Structure 1
Amino acid sequence: MTTNDSIQFTSVAIAQQFLVLFSQVQRNGSEMVAMKSGTMGKGCITVTKYFLFLFNLLFFIFGALIMGFGLWVLFDNQSFIAVLQESSNTVKVASYILIGVGSLSMAMGFFGCLGAIYEIRCLLGLYFTCLLLILIAQVTAGVLIYFQRDRLKFEMSGIIKGMIIHYTGQNRTTEHTWDYIQRSMKCCGWTGPGNWSENLLIKNSSQYLYPAPGCITSVEKWLLDNCGIILGICVGVAVVELLGMILSMCLCKSVVQEDYTKVPKY
């Protein structure tokens, strides 16, 4: 074997060793990238799961607040709501609806937390569907209230004026509440003091008149002053619901196989 042949054989052997080493490095790099991608994927799923748990906890709290508001509307006797409730069954029905929606929201929050922690696809899908239906119902109710606001104002005026005309002073709950509203808001009647002239039992025994605006102005001012708070609460609830829907779908798609053995047995 000549010197040139030896050099050529050595070069080929070195090249083969280099190719083997390069293929091993490439294979190890691919495995590391795959492991890193899998770790990142699991990390994203874990973050999504706990974020969904947090939003379900917030949804549970919002449900408790809605149910508490419904109970307040139903049992409170020292607010403007009590006057409407005594004069119309609509407010009482609305309070029962609020209590029902709040209870349903609390149940959904609980099952949503359970589905997020234990990665149960059927609970996550049910949670998404219920959230979608509630969001549609809320938007529909808001649109109806907005476009029917003049009619609601007219009906409210009729209820209050009827209560003033039939005011007897016999210590009924609505009469106590209406007196409390007039004192706290420093107003008289609904559109003005002249509303009381239609009552045949209540007569002004004094010649002195104290000027006071109608309570409709004070009530509208109260609503305008608190409109931002009410709107903020509604938008906050809608945002929480949308985020809950997005996270539930992301987690539901990432769950490949359900493991019901992780669910605690009671």
Structure 2
Amino acid sequence: MGAACIKVTKYFLFLFNLLFFILGAVILGFGVWIIADKSSFVSVLQTSSSSLQVGAYVFIGVGAITMLMGLLGCIGAVNEVRCLLGLYFVFLLLILIAQVTVGVLFYFNAGKLKQEVGSMVMDIIQNYKTNASSSREERLQEAWDYVQAQVKCCGWASFYNWTDNLELRNSTENIYPCSCEKTGEEDNQYIVKKGFCKVSNSSSDAIFHEEWPVYPEGCMKKVQMWLQENLGILLGVCVGVAVIELLGLFLSICLCRHIHSEDYSKVPKY
């Protein structure tokens, strides 16, 4: 009965580590996506925020370690190698500690992160140009255009943020950011307009921002709504991963102790 139980534990631990290997590949891919993505709000964050850049490399590192850990766990479980199971236990414990540390740091720095993002977006809006002066500036502008068009928002707090734009303020025409323009359901949602557009049916030669055919709501509220809607899912996933990791620690200890006692029982007694 004991041998059968250990056999079940061994193969259950193998399947567990196979899933962990796949999870590591997903985490690694997510980190690479943050670094490589140039067409969404993530690009705005990772280009301007050193914190997100560091976080992306942390994801890549954790993903690689998780894949290595899953491989060690699979080999150690099938072949009952105590050394590999020990390394697996240490790696898993370190990852669990790292996850808890990152969660605590994120919780206590959430307000600071929100302030940094707001300042960063306002800087992009104020310095937005029809012809960007550098490739980095062009990437940021394209990413912000993509956000406004896809999320259907304008500015950060509201569309009035665009009245602080230098090019718009110096213009003698009534122009507005093209990516903020309201679109109908029949319009192609994948086409993102760039630069500034002129108000076609202006009531006078004077500049009235109220005549802009743009979304009045700022992107800050949209982002906060998205975070609130997905926070429960994110929390549930984190708790689920932590429980699975604790289960992996328990199973590896059980199998390691069984291998130790089995090896001891095989030693000839005189």
Common fold, TM-score beyond 0.5?
Answer: yes
Provide the residue aligned with 1:24 in structure 2.
none
Provide the residue aligned with 2:205 in structure 1.
none
Aligned partner of 1:101 among 33, 37, 62: 62
Name structure 1 gaps, 5 residues minimum. 1-39, 259-266
Provide the residue aligned with 1:174 in structure 2.
140
Contact 1:116 1:124 (C-alpha < 8 Å) held by counterparts = yes
SS at match of 2:39: coil
SS at match of 2:38: coil
CA distance in 2, matches of 1:170, 1:47: 65
Corresponding letter in the other structure for 1:154? Q
Higher relative contact order (CA 8 A, sep 6+): 1
Corresponding letter in the other structure for 1:191? A
Provide the residue aligned with 2:231 in structure 1.
227
CA distance in 2, matches of 1:152, 1:90: 9
SS at match of 1:226: helix
Provide the residue aligned with 1:121 in structure 2.
82
Overall identity of the aligned pairs, in %: 53
Contact 2:31 2:56 (C-alpha < 8 Å) held by counterparts = yes
Aligned partner of 1:72 among 29, 33, 36: 33
Deviation at 1:128, TM superposition (A): 0.8
CA distance in 2, matches of 1:169, 1:226: 35
CA distance in 2, matches of 1:85, 1:148: 17
CA distance in 2, matches of 1:252, 1:229: 34
CA distance in 2, matches of 1:61, 1:97: 17
Deviation at 1:48, TM superposition (A): 0.7
CA RMSD of aligned residues (A): 1.5
1:68-217 matches, within 5 Å, as 68-170=29-131, 172-203=138-169, 204-205=174-175, 206=199, 207=208, 208-210=211-213, 212-217=216-221
Length-normalised TM-score, structure 2: 0.77
CA distance in 2, matches of 1:46, 1:169: 67
The CA deviation string for residues 14-39 of structure 1, in whole angstroms up to 9 with x for no partner, is xxxxxxxxxxxxxxxxxxxxxxxxxx
Length-normalised TM-score, structure 1: 0.78
Q: Considering only CA atoms, is the larger Rg found in Structure 1 or Structure 2?
A: 1
- Once the two structures are overlaid, the 10-residue window that deviates more, 65-74 or 81-90, is 81-90
SS at match of 1:138: helix
Deviation at 1:69, TM superposition (A): 0.6
Aligned partner of 2:18 among 49, 57, 61: 57
Which has a greater percent of helix? Answer: 1
**Using a 3 Å threshold, how does the CA distance of structure 1 residues 132 and 160 change in structure 2: closer, same or farther?**
same
Deviation at 1:155, TM superposition (A): 1.1
Corresponding letter in the other structure for 1:58? L
Contact 2:72 2:87 (C-alpha < 8 Å) held by counterparts = no
Contact 2:65 2:91 (C-alpha < 8 Å) held by counterparts = no
